[in-house]
Structure 1
Amino acid sequence: MAKILVADDSKTELAFLLDILKGTGHEIVTAVDGLQAEERARAERFDLIFLDVIMPNKNGFQVCRALKRDPSLKQIPIILTTSKSGESDKFWGKKQGADEYIVKPYEPVDILLAVKKYLGGI
């Protein structure tokens, strides 16, 4: 069983992601803003991180960049989930170190395929 961090300031989006991920059998930990996400990522050991881009205190781009610059955390796959769908946004997300960039609204299968890609079978 892997440990996944899910960060989103929208209760609706957070609940939707949790509903999708609950069937994977992995342990899920949540954060409601960027600062809390970064703090949890540094305090606990995660195998995969989902970050919303637009969050208070620190946005997902900032959190992703900070975690990918940390030698002890840079190997953790980070998936940005966001409504920012422009090509420049996707480019910027990848430049910050994101392993995947999933645009909202997404289908549950998009999330499950990403989990399978980085953590193996579901």
Structure 2
Amino acid sequence: MAKILVADDSATEVTFLQEILKDTNHEILIANNGLEAEKIARTTPVDLIILDVVMPEKNGFQVCRALKKDPKFSHIPIIITTSKSGESDKFWGMKQGADEYITKPFEPVDILLAVKKHLGGAK
């Protein structure tokens, strides 16, 4: 069983992601802002991070960049989910080190395929 950190300041989005991931048998950890997400990622071994961009305290781009620059955490796949759908936003997200960039609204299958891609057979 893998540990997935879901970081989003919207309770609705968190609930939606939990519902999508419930049948994957992975443990889901929740962060409600960027600082909390980075703290959890640095103190709890996680296998994957699903990260919103627009959050209080620290935005998702900042969290992604900080974790990917740190050799201790750079191996953790990060899937950015965001309403920021411009090509420059996607470019910027990938430049920060994101492994996937999925725009909202998304289909559940988009998340499931990205999780499967980055966790492989981890259960």
- Report the CA distance between 1:120 and its aligned residue: 1.9
* 1:12-91 superposed matches below 5 A: 12-91=12-91
Query: Scaled by the length of structure 1, what TM-score is found?
Result: 0.98
Unaligned runs of 5+ in 2: none
Q: 1 CA distance for matches of 2:119 and 2:52?
A: 20
Q: How high is the sequence identity, in percent, across the aligned residues?
A: 74
- Report the CA distance between 1:55 and its aligned residue: 0.1
- Match of 1:109? 109
Query: Scaled by the length of structure 2, what TM-score is found?
Result: 0.97
Give a deviation string over 1:60-85, Cα, whole Å, max 9, x none: 00000000011000000000000000
Q: CA RMSD in A?
A: 0.9
Aligned length: 122
- Please give the secondary structure, in 1, of the residue aligned with 2:13: helix
- Write the letter of the residue equivalent to 1:11: A
Runs of 4+ in structure 1 over 2 Å off:
none
Give a deviation string over 1:31-86, Cα, whole Å, max 9, x none: 00000000000000011000000000000000000000110000000000000000
